[in-house]
Structure 1
Amino acid sequence: MLDIYPWQQTLWQQLVSRQQHAHAYLLQGPSGIGKRVLADQLAARLLCLQPQALSACGDCKSCHLLAAGSHPDLYVLQPEEVDKAIKVDQVRELVDFVVQTAHLAGRKVVVLEPAEAMNPNSANALLKSLEEPAGNTVMLLISHQPSRLLPTIKSRCVQQNCPLPGEAQSLAWIQEKHPQLSSQQAFELLALAGGSPLTALRLFDLDVVGLRAKVVEGIKKLLKQQVSPSQLAESWNAVPLPLLFDWFCDWSQVLLRYQLTADQAELGLEDMRAVLQYLAEKAAQSKVLVLQDWLLLQRQKVIGRANLNRNLLLEALLVQWASLPRPS
C-alpha cells in the first residue's frame, strides 16, 4: 500500500486521532492530490485488528487479506467504465453488502470514488445507508468535484476538505521524484497541473510539456497565416482533446482578465504571454466572450465523451481563434 504523502501528514493525524469515527466521510478536494491513498490508508487502519497509533499493523489476518486484495469486509465502488456514471444497480449491490454482518467480527468499510459519478437515482439509493448504515460500517466517499453532489449526500457525511499542498512543497516533491527536472520545468509542470502534484507527474509521463510546445508553435503560425486551421487541427492528432480544451479555456480566461486589468503578471506561463497580450489588445471583448462561451460548451461535450468529429471541432475552434485580432 502507498504511504501517506508529505502534505497529508497533518490531516492523517487528525483522522486517526479521532476517538470515535463517523459512519461516513466525504474526502473532497482537487484531483491529483492523493485523496484515494488517504482513503485506502484509512480503510486499512479501520479494518486492522491490532491498529497502531498512526497506521494498520500490517501483520494481522485483516491486513494480510487486504494486501492480497481479498478482504471480505472492504467494498470498493467505482464506475464500471472510466468517466461513466455509477449505476443504481451498483449502489443496490453496495447496500446489500452494508446490511451483511462483518466476516472478521470488526468493521466493514466502503470506498466510493468518485462520488459525483452517481446520478440522481444512484445517489438517492445510497441515502438510507448513508444515514443509518447497518452494523459497524464506515463509508469513505471521495469527490474531486463536490459541487456536483446532491446536498442530501453531503449533509449525511463528515465533510473533510483535502486542500492543495503548498507550491514549495509540491515542487520539492516533484523534483525528488524526477531529479532530472530543473526548477523551471517542475514549476511549469505544476502550473499545467493546476497545482496538483500527482497530476503533474502524470503530465510528465505523457510528455505534456512537449505536446504544449507543439501546440503553442502551431498557434503562432496560425496567427501569422503560415498554416490553415484544417492543417493545424490535423497536426494535433497526438494531443488529447481534453488537454487542448483545458488550455484554450484557460487562455480565453486570461484574455478577458488582461483586457479588464492590463496586468501582465496575470498572463500565465511564459510560452503564451506574448501571444495572449497581442490578442487581448487586438480582439474585441465581445468576440472573446462569445469564444469563451463556445469553448466551455464544447469542453463539457468533450468531458462527457460525446460523439464528436475531432478535426471538425478543432477546425471550428481555430477559425474562431484566428479571427480574434481581425475586424468582425
Structure 2
Amino acid sequence: MHNNLYPWQTSLWQSLAGRSQQAHAYLLHGPKGSGKRALAEHFAAFLLCRSPVAQQPCGQCAACKLYAADTHPDLLRLEPEEEGKGILIASVRDLVGRILQTSQQGGRKVIIVEPAEAMTTGSANALLKSLEEPTGSTIFLLISHQFSFLLPTIKSRCVLQVCPLPNAQESIEWLQQQQSELSAEQCQTLLALASGSPLNAQKLFGSDVLAIREQVVSGVKQLFKQQSSPSDLAVAWAKMPQELIFDWFCQWAQLLLRYKITEDDTELGLPDMSVVLKHVAPRAPLTALLETQDWLLEHRQKVLRRVPLRADLLLEGLLVRWQMLLPR
C-alpha cells in the first residue's frame, strides 16, 4: 500500500500513529485543502492493519488488501447523500445499527465522518451516544472544514487534531514536484487564488485558472477604459466557472473597501489587479461600493446554491454595477 500522506503531514502522522493507546474518536480539523481526508484514510488503513510496520500499515495483510480494494467491511463512511447537503438522521441511525454488529474481520471498526459539520442537530445528537460509548474497538475519525460550526458536545467527545496548511515554501516545492512546468511566480499566484492550499491550487491549475484569470482581469481593465461593454464581456465570460468569477469580484470589492478606509496599499491582493484597485478606490462612492458588495454576496450565494440563472444576464448585471464604481 502506497503512502498517501502529504510531505507537510509528517509530524501530524507521528503524533497520531505514535500514541501508546488510540482514542475512540478523533476530530481532524483545519482549512479545506489541507489534506485532512488523506490523513484520515491513511490513519484508517493503519488502524485496520493487523501487522503495522514502523508506524505504517504493512500493505500485505488481508486487512490492508481489503482496504486497498476499498472493500474492507469494517471501514464505514458517513457522508451527505449529495454534495453540499446535510447528513441525515436516518443515515446516522443506519450507521449506529451497523456499529452495533460484530466486527467482520475480528479487529477494529473505523468510521470516517466528513464533513462533520454537515450533521444536523438531530443527526449529531443521534451519534453522541456512539461517540461517548463506542461498541467494541470502534474508532471514529471526524473531519471538519468549519470547526466553529460543530456542536460543543461533538468536540468534547473527540481528541482534537488541527491540520494546518503547509507554509508557502513547502507548498511551492510540492506544486512544482507535481507540475514541473510551473514557475515559482505562477505557484504563488495559484496559491493566492486557492487561499494557500496547494491541493486546491493544483486543481485550479488543472482547470486552466491562470488563463481564465488573465482574461477576466484584462476584461475589467477594458471595462474601466470603456474599451469593452458589460454585455460584450458577459457573453465572453458566460462559459467560465461562475464561482471563480464571483469569488474574485467579492475579494476585489472587499479590497476596495479596505483601501478606501485605510489607504494602506500593502493589502491590495495580487499584483495583476492592485494598480486598478488603487486607482478605483478613491474615486468610487462609498455607498456604491457597499451596495455592490451586498449585491455580490447575495448573488454569490445563488451561484453556490446553483440557482438556475442565465450566466450572461447575471454577469452583465455584475459588470454594470462594477462600471458604475468609476463615475465619469
Q: TM-score, normalised by structure 1?
A: 0.95
Deviation at 1:90, TM superposition (A): 1.7
What is the match of residue 201 of structure 1? 202
Alignment of 1:30-45 (within 5 A): 30-45=31-46
Is 1:295 the counterpart of 2:292? The answer is: no
Aligned length: 327
Q: Note the 1:133-144 alignment, pairs <5 A.
A: 133-144=134-145
Query: Secondary structure of 1:25's partner?
Result: strand
Query: Residue 14 of structure 1 corresponds to which residue in structure 2?
Result: 15
Structure 2 vs 1, CA of residues 148 and 107 (structure 1 numbering), >3 Å: closer, same or farther? same
Mapped contact 2:238–2:315 kept (Cα < 8 A):
no
| Preserved contact between residue 2 and residue 37 of structure 1 (Cα < 8 Å) | no
Q: 1:102 to 1:208 in 2, by over 3 A?
A: same
Q: Give CA deviations for 1:270-307 in whole Å, capped at 9, x if unaligned.
A: 11111111111211223222222222222223223333
For the pair 1:46 / 2:47, whether they are aligned, the reply is yes
Name the counterpart of 2:155: 154
In structure 1, C-alpha distance between the alignment counterparts of 2:89 and 2:259, rounded to whole Å? 46
Uncovered stretches (5+) of structure 1, i.e. residues with no partner: none
Partner of 1:126: 127
Structure 2 match to 1:86: 87
**CA offset at residue 265 of structure 1?**
1.9
Report the alpha carbon displacement of residue 226 of structure 1 after superposing the two structures with TM. Answer: 2.5
CA deviations over 1:84-108 (Å, ceiling 9, x no partner)? 2222222222111211111122110
Alpha-carbon separation, structure 1, partners of 2:283 and 2:32: 36
Aligned to 1:244: 245
User: What letter corresponds to residue 181 of structure 1 in structure 2?
Assistant: L
Rounded to whole Å, the distance in 1 between the matches of 2:224 and 2:120 is 43
Structure 2 CA distance, aligned partners of 1:5 and 1:210?
A: 28
> Is 2:168 aligned against 1:173?
no
1:312 positional shift: 2.8
Q: CA deviation at 1:39?
A: 0.2
How far off is 1:2 after superposition?
A: 4.7
Partners in 1 of 2:295 and 2:135 — Cα distance?
47
- Looking at structure 1, the residues matched to 194 and 315 of structure 2 have their Cα atoms a distance apart, in angstroms, of 22
> 1:200-230: CA deviations, max 9, x gaps?
1000000001011111111112222232222
Q: Does 1:27 align with 2:28?
A: yes
Cα distance in 2, alignment partners of residues 18 and 173 from structure 1: 28
In 2 relative to 1, CA 93–180 (structure 1 residues): closer, same or farther, beyond 3 Å?
same
Distance 1:153 1:310 in 2: 40
Q: CA deviation at 1:190?
A: 0.9
Task: Tell me what 1:278 maps to.
Answer: 279
Aligned to 1:213: 214
Shift of 1:29: 0.9
Distance, in Å, in 1 between the alignment partners of 2:69 and 2:46 is 16
CA contact (8 A) 1:87 1:118 kept: yes
Quote the Cα distance in structure 2 between the aligned partners of 1:3 and 1:73.
20
Percent of aligned positions with the same letter in both sequences?
55
Residue 103 of structure 1 corresponds to which residue in structure 2?
A: 104
Distance 1:83 1:268 in 2: 29
Distance, in Å, in 1 between the alignment partners of 2:232 and 2:125 is 48
| Partner Cα separation in structure 2 for residue 24 and residue 305 of structure 1 | 35
**Distance verdict in 2 for CA 1:159–1:304, change over 3 Å:** farther
Q: Residues 91 and 125 of structure 1 are in contact (CA less than 8 Å); yes or no, is this contact kept in structure 2?
A: yes
Give the distance between the partners of 2:270 and 2:144, measured in 1 at CA.
Answer: 29
- State whether structure 2 residue 146 is matched by structure 1 residue 145: yes
1:223 aligned partner, one-letter code: F
Aligned-partner SS, 1:282 = coil
Which residue number corresponds to residue 114 of structure 1?
115
- Note the C-alpha offset of 1:12: 0.6
84-93 vs 159-168, which moves further? 84-93
Single out whichever of 255-264 and 135-144 deviates more from structure 2.
Answer: 255-264
Shift of 1:113: 1.3
- Structure 1, 281-290 or 34-43: larger mean CA deviation: 281-290
Retained in 1: the 8 A contact 2:115–2:144?
A: yes
Which amino acid is the alignment partner of residue 71 of structure 1? H
Quick one: distance in 1 between partners of 2:109 and 2:259?
A: 53
Question: Structure 2 CA distance, aligned partners of 1:18 and 1:133?
Answer: 19
Q: Greater shift after overlay, 219-228 or 67-76?
A: 219-228
Q: Is there any run of 5+ residues in structure 2 with no aligned partner, and where?
A: none
